Amino acid sequence: MIDLLNAVVVLSNYVLIPALAYGSQLALGALGVTLIYGILRFSNFAHGDTMAFGAMVTILVTWLFQGWGISLGPLPTALLAIPFGIAATAALLLTTDRLVYRFYRQQKAAPVILVIVSMGVMFVMNGLVRFIIGPNDQRFSDGERFIISAREFKKLTGLSEGLAFKTTQGITIVTAVIVVVALFWFLNRTRTGKSMRAFSDNEDLALLSGINPDRVVMVTWLIVAGLAATAGALYGLDKSFKPFIYLQLLLPIFAAAVVGGLGNPLGAIAGGFVIAFSEVLITYPLKKVLGYLLPDRFEPDTLVQLLSTDYKFAVSFTILIIVLLFRPTGLFKGKSV
């Protein structure tokens, strides 16, 4: 019995919780990507760096607050600073749209042009962030690190395996779920949300219905700013902030958005979990778990690992491709331009 519990705890600690948290992080990023794809109809490569920008502003404000002695008790002070991050990101995105994207929208440029333009924007934002805060790691987390740490858990339960659950993991998971539900509701139930979908479907006809395109675009960027800054800050809190990483984060984020079905918020979260779980689960060596579950005689002396972690990306992409083969526009019937 104890063995069974230990096995469950090991699996939760190294597979379930990390994958849930990582999946939520991906989902938050993927939501922004998927929203831009859904409404403005292009894959935004600058999203990773938008997240970095939002996180950067949040960090700067957090430092300010920390300097003033403001804190949130057990919760990270950064939560207080996120609204400022969002506001700054919103300003940045609206400016970018005004200076860059609007021109191509009016030209009715092909989506791929926008994709390439967004790469240009990515380079510029990337330079901007590194310019302002530098290329290095920055730490800004405070408050309680853990809801429960491995050591406490062991003491509490007397089990030989520990289970750690970080505050940031908790916040991320909760936020992701709330945001997905809210966004889904907003897009499918509210007038503004529907008008945004209408705009993405048929811009000319949206005009004929009296929908104001500028407003739709603005609302989209505002929501994206909220998502990007929140996602960026939460990611930075959980791991650490480093501008370069946000660029790397883009790949799994896109994968999550695509496998879930582009343009669909529910897809983004499903996609996030698919990617996260396939990375963590397939490469997890079962040695310890089996060690608890099987009688001593059968205890494995190898790692019992299906594939080495070298191939964790390969695994998640293989799964992605298999999913797409059966559901060509993702789990939740996404769009394609």
Residue among 83 and 327 whose Cβ is closer to another protein: 327
CB of 196 to another protein, least distance (A): 11
CB nearer to another protein: give 65 or 284: 284
Instruction: Show Cβ contacts of residue 89 under 8 Å, excluding neighbours closer than 6 positions.
Output: 50, 53, 54, 57, 225, 226, 228, 229
Instruction: Give the other-Cβ count within 10 Å of 333's Cβ.
Output: 14
Which one, 223 or 279, has the nearer CB to another protein? 279
Closer to another protein at the Cβ: 191 or 297? Answer: 191
- Nearest distance from C-beta of residue 54 to another protein, angstroms: 16
Whether residue 122 contacts residue 46, with contact meaning beta carbons closer than 8 Å, is answered with yes
How near is the Cβ of 265 to another protein at its closest, in Å? Answer: 15
* Alpha carbon distances (Å) from 206 to 175, 202, 203, 211: 32, 6, 5, 5
**Residue 66, CA distances (Å) to 61, 71, 138, 283, 301 in order:** 8, 7, 14, 40, 50
Q: How far is the CB of 274 from another protein (least distance, A)?
A: 13
Cβ proximity to another protein: between 83 and 213 the closer is: 213
Terminal CA-CA length for the chain: 54
Q: How far is the CB of 91 from another protein (least distance, A)?
A: 19
Least Cα distance to 180 among 302, 14, 19, 31 occurs for: 31
SS3 assignment, position 165: strand
**Residue 66 Cβ vs another protein, minimum distance, rounded to whole Å:** 16
Phi, psi of 165 (to 5 degrees): -135, 115
- Count of beta carbons in the 10 Å neighbourhood of residue 190: 11
Q: Of 4 and 303, which CB lies nearer to another protein in the complex structure?
A: 303
Nearer to another protein, 87 or 98 (CB): 98
Rounded to a whole number of angstroms, the minimum distance from the CB of residue 149 to another protein is 7
* Residue of 111, 250, 101, 265 whose CA lies nearest to 197: 265
Q: CB atoms < 10 A from the CB of 325, how many?
A: 8
What's the full length of the chain, in residues? 337
